[in-house]
Amino acid sequence: MRAGRKVAGPAGIPVTSSSLWQDPTPRPLDRYTQLRPDHSVAVYVTGYILQVSHSWDMVFLVTAGVTLFGILFYLIFASGEKQFD
């Protein structure tokens, strides 16, 4: 599409193709990736994965991978020895 070509936007409002790339309205997934001090890292990672893949399946697969890593780490390095008196 050539820059400056007229196309119909939402509700039939004419816009140019060059203005389509400069849309100031936030995308629906932006609310998941905005930095806020009361959110954990998981919220930001979830927002990033959703923004990149648009798939909750990928979020659950990453969560399962992190959990599996934690389980394996615990099984390898855990011991039954008393550490403190």
The residue to which tokens 């890292």 are assigned: 41
- Reported pTM: 0.51
Q: How confident is the model at residue 76 (pLDDT cuts 50, 70, 90)?
A: very high
- pLDDT confidence of 8, banded at 50, 70, 90? low
Predicted confidence (pLDDT) at residue 19 exceeds the cutoff of 50: no
CA distances from 9 to 1, 22, 23, 50 (A): 15, 13, 11, 25
Q: How far apart are CA 1 and CA 22, in angstroms?
A: 15
In this prediction, residue 20 carries a pLDDT of 46
